[in-house]
Amino acid sequence: MRDIFDTHVHYDDDAFDEDRDELIRSLPLSGVAKAVDVGASIASSKKALELAHTYDHIYCALGVHPEEVHSFDEEGRQWLISALDDNKCVALGEIGLDYHWKDVDPADQKEAFIWQLKLAASKDITVVIHSREAARDTADILKEYHNGCGIIHCFSYSKEMALEFLDMGYYIGIGGVLTYKNAKKLVEAALAIPMERIVLETDGPYLSPEPLRGKRNISPNIAYVITKLAQIKGITEEEVREHAWVNAHRIYRLKI
């Protein structure tokens, strides 16, 4: 059976403080061969980089989430420019737009998003995109400022929007939300997205799949997503695993 590659998790989060080392070391025994710890601020990106250097099977993405752009100062920007060259860093992220919460000015989000996209282009590095209630602005900015090498993380839009991102060259990240009873729109999108462009993720500690909803999410829980995706696609779970494994390595530019 093909191992799992969790393309998006936050093991640097406080939710893992009590058992982080034990949990991460146990992942290969649970069938999770690789995972990417994704930064959301400069502080969490530094923790993600540290984890990537502590464990062979952990890689990292470094960047500033739209809800954290208020603290993205010049010192942080200079650190990010340098840190992206680290050999355990496979992407710039997560970056993007989030209009759900109203405490961060959209203009500030856009400025930080565009700045980081320009940096990614200059470094020729994959991007991990966070987009919530901001589909049109996200797509328009990506069309102008990036070359399509990236993942639309925790995809939550329509199948039409999925096809638009696919046309731009992006991969689609799918996680536990696919298993929810109210996930009709995502199920329709998943059916339309070719398996060659899907990667699997947890976004742990968040968004645990059914029947674990409300509990802390960890990488082995991707097995529930695999089962659901296989049912939707009418293929075997092993086929889902194989495609996802190959896709994750391709988008993060890692050797299998």
Report the pLDDT value the prediction gives residue 226, as an integer from 0 to 100.
98
CA dihedral (123, 51, 255, 147) positive or negative: negative
What is the DSSP pairing of strand 89-98 with strand 58-62? parallel
What is the CB-side half-sphere exposure of residue 37 using CA atoms within 13 A?
A: 25
The CA distance from 81 to 235, in Å, is: 42
Residue 59 CA: distances (Å) to CA of 76, 138, 228:
20, 26, 26
Domains and CATH numbers, the chain: 4-251 (3.20.20.140)
Alpha helices in 64-156 (DSSP H): 74-83, 106-123, 135-145
User: pTM (2 decimals)?
Assistant: 0.98
Q: What is the DSSP letter of 212?
A: S
Asked if 134 and 107 count as a contact pair (C-beta separation under 8 A), the reply is no
pLDDT per residue of the chain (256 residues) written in tens, 0 to 9: 999 999 999 999 999 999 999 999 999 999 999 999 999 999 999 999 999 999 999 999 999 999 999 999 999 999 999 999 999 999 999 999 999 988 899 999 999 999 999 999 999 999 999 999 999 999 999 999 987 899 999 999 999 999 999 999 999 999 999 999 999 999 999 999 999 999 999 999 999 999 999 999 999 999 999 999 999 999 999 999 999 999 999 999 999 9
Report the pLDDT value the prediction gives residue 102, as an integer from 0 to 100.
86
Report the pLDDT value the prediction gives residue 148, as an integer from 0 to 100.
80
The CA distance from 106 to 109, in Å, is: 5
152 token code pair: 């639309």
The CA distance from 106 to 97, in Å, is: 8
The CA distance from 67 to 109, in Å, is: 8
